Structure 1
Amino acid sequence: MTSIEQINAIGTAGQPWGDAQKAQWRALQRVQRSHAKEVVSRIQALASRFEVVNYGELDCGEDGRYPLLALRSQDWDSALPVAVVTGGVHGYETSGVHGALQFAEQHGADYSGRLNLLLIPCVSPWGYERIQRWNAWTVDPNRSFTANSPAPEAAAVLALLQTLAEPVLVHIDLHETTDTDESEFRPALAARDGKPYEPGTIPDGFYLVGESDRPAPGFQQAIITAVEAITHIAPADEKGEIIGDKVVAHGVINYPGRSIGLCGGMTDAPFVTTTEVYPDSPKATPQQCNDAQVAAVRAALDYALANG
């Protein structure tokens, strides 16, 4: 974890970072866990049940190279629609990665012959190892799912999706909202951009971010109902908001994801959502967070199959 003091020591307050300051920030980041041991090994262990797709390589220079791996249904059927599950777009959001892997291990076979599954458990392996929101170049991958993306992790996912001939019926992107959003990541964003830091609040509980142009309220509520059996749902604040956006239903807000380059906006799927688990709650364990992600994926796929 990078402290606010370390962040504030980079560059000059009120001035955006240049290349030298970004390099200074990168030098502060330390490997804290292993992508190879914790992610790649679990993906490879599923090779008898899924096709393991190496859709690229992330070259981080002196920090090494990372394989970009996805899991694809072995019985892929061009007559069936596609379900996309993404995790680890922000590498520090642990349950997104391990929830996607747990879903593949425990429930992937349930959808054989019903959906073509494309699972991308860890979009940002450099960030996963360093428990970081940004990539190695101080770019937020989850603002970079755009043409000419500045984030190679995001560009590789977009290129993979271009290989699909079948329509995407449902896409669920697995995320977390953590206390470090306020203690590290939002202050770092303000410092990087030369702007004043404006404190926010962290909602206590699970919530969903739907797409403004495809809100699908029944779909969102089916997921909330499933997750509520696992962990608590974040309440609205005194303004009727979660993270500054109006709550449109129990545990649901909407964003214009495509226009701001969010992973959730990268397909034309009629059913799309982004999960936000809160792992720092005293009322939730790490396993509950993973289980909540799995419950969300299953509910999303089941609803899409029944209503698509």
Structure 2
Amino acid sequence: MTLEPFYPIGTPGQPWGVQEKAQWLARQTRQRSYADQVVSEIDRLRAHFDVSQYGLLSYGQERYPLHALRSRGWDDALPTALVTGGVHGYETSGVHGALQFLHTRALDYAGRVNLLVVPCVSPWGYERIHRWNPDAIDPNRSFRADSPAGESAALWALTEPLRQRCLVHVDLHETTDSDESEFRPALCARDGKPFEPDGIPDGFYLVDDSENPQPAFQQAIIAAVAEVTHIAPADADGMIIGSPVVAPGVIEYPVKRLGLCAGITASRFVTTTEVYPDSPRATPQQCNDAQVAAVCAALDYALAHG
């Protein structure tokens, strides 16, 4: 039987080699500016936060400085919270939700918690509106000490001194229609596996850590976000993206074993947000607002129960 191609690069059933990855990279084009849309916003926040460059990604002739923002007046006696966005650069509200939180709500937590916020972990992916980095590596499967992804390795090094001291980590993501039309087919083609179409959940949901589940924490976030945008229902099989729904709007992954960003610390309270920006029932501003609501609800719950 001849396998029908489902992606324009590679041979069905065969993982990509150097040539196929080069073909894929040649198809990627810069569609927006990290400097103009992200770094400029970070610069506006320097009056209120300590901004540091924690890495520099070099891809060909392009250089991407990586920035982190910390609470001014960091106090080791306070609990620490980590907020990350843009691990997948194409997930826009992850980046701009983190920046909106810094502009509008972060100072409300001054003197209560140390904040470490990384708004855009993957700037090359942000500019190309892509899930991977230029080496066709998914940073969000690569968070480990020997990471092959520069984005993941840099964040790993940044957070290492705080890894055992973090109370809460909120990792801001989106699930988009392009996951089904582009990114999942590309993943299967890259790995030489068959592509099996699936649905995209219509609404917001969370990913808990199956090895450290915190159901009350997750439901506190769901309740807050439900005031901003709709929560994704389970499908006919009781699933969201192939995982059982364990509570309204919540699924679980073993985040550390999968090398996900949410597993980068030993935080007691961990969640990955998933906003649905392609819904006719949600605007880009609602998506950003949902991310901010999720961060605030997570911080409020963790500070009250930590």
Q: Which moved more, 1:179-188 or 1:12-21?
A: 12-21
Separation in 1, partners of 2:129, 2:146: 26
The answer to whether 1:34 aligns with 2:4 is no
Deviations 1:43-97 (A, max 9, x none): 11100100001001011113x0100001111110010111000000000000000
| Structure 1 residue 19: Cα displacement | 1.1
Partner of 1:257: 255
Partner of 2:246: 248
Report if the CA contact (8 A) 1:7-1:25 is conserved: no
| Structure 1 residue 163: Cα displacement | 3.0
Q: Which runs of 5+ in 2 are unaligned?
A: none
Report if the CA contact (8 A) 1:58-1:65 is conserved: yes
Amino acid across the alignment from 1:193 = D
Report if the CA contact (8 A) 1:80-1:166 is conserved: no
Amino acid across the alignment from 2:45 = L
Amino acid across the alignment from 2:222 = I
Separation in 2, partners of 1:72, 1:200: 39
| Structure 1 residue 166: Cα displacement | 6.9
Report if the CA contact (8 A) 1:86-1:121 is conserved: yes
Equivalent of 2:277, from 261, 264, 279? 279
| Structure 1 residue 164: Cα displacement | 2.9
Aligned CA-pair RMSD: 1.4
Superposition pairs of residues 1-308 of structure 1, within 5 angstroms: 8-62=7-61, 64-164=62-162, 167-308=165-306
Tell me the number of residue pairs that the alignment of Structure 1 and Structure 2 aligns.
303
Amino acid across the alignment from 1:47 = R
Separation in 1, partners of 2:162, 2:256: 19
Report if the CA contact (8 A) 2:221-2:297 is conserved: yes
Amino acid across the alignment from 2:56 = E
Identity of aligned residues (%): 68
The 1:190–1:213 alpha-carbon spacing in structure 2 relative to 1, beyond 3 Å, is same
Structure 2 residue matching 1:146: 3-state secondary structure: coil
Separation in 1, partners of 2:296, 2:132: 28
The 1:149–1:7 alpha-carbon spacing in structure 2 relative to 1, beyond 3 Å, is farther
| Structure 1 residue 33: Cα displacement | 0.3
| Structure 1 residue 165: Cα displacement | 7.8
Separation in 1, partners of 2:119, 2:22: 28
Separation in 1, partners of 2:93, 2:9: 30
Separation in 2, partners of 1:75, 1:147: 29
The 1:26–1:7 alpha-carbon spacing in structure 2 relative to 1, beyond 3 Å, is farther
Structure 2 residue matching 1:66: 3-state secondary structure: strand
TM-score by length of 1: 0.96
Structure 2 residue matching 1:37: 3-state secondary structure: helix
| Structure 1 residue 14: Cα displacement | 1.5
Amino acid across the alignment from 1:175 = H
Amino acid across the alignment from 2:231 = I
Deviations 1:243-293 (A, max 9, x none): 111111110011101001000111100000000000000000000000000
Q: Which moved more, 1:237-246 or 1:158-167?
A: 158-167
Report if the CA contact (8 A) 1:81-1:166 is conserved: no
| Structure 1 residue 147: Cα displacement | 2.1
TM-score by length of 2: 0.97
Separation in 2, partners of 1:32, 1:154: 23
Q: Which runs of 5+ in 1 are unaligned?
A: none
Structure 2 residue matching 1:22: 3-state secondary structure: helix
Amino acid across the alignment from 2:25 = R
Separation in 2, partners of 1:205, 1:230: 11
Amino acid across the alignment from 2:58 = D
Amino acid across the alignment from 1:39 = V
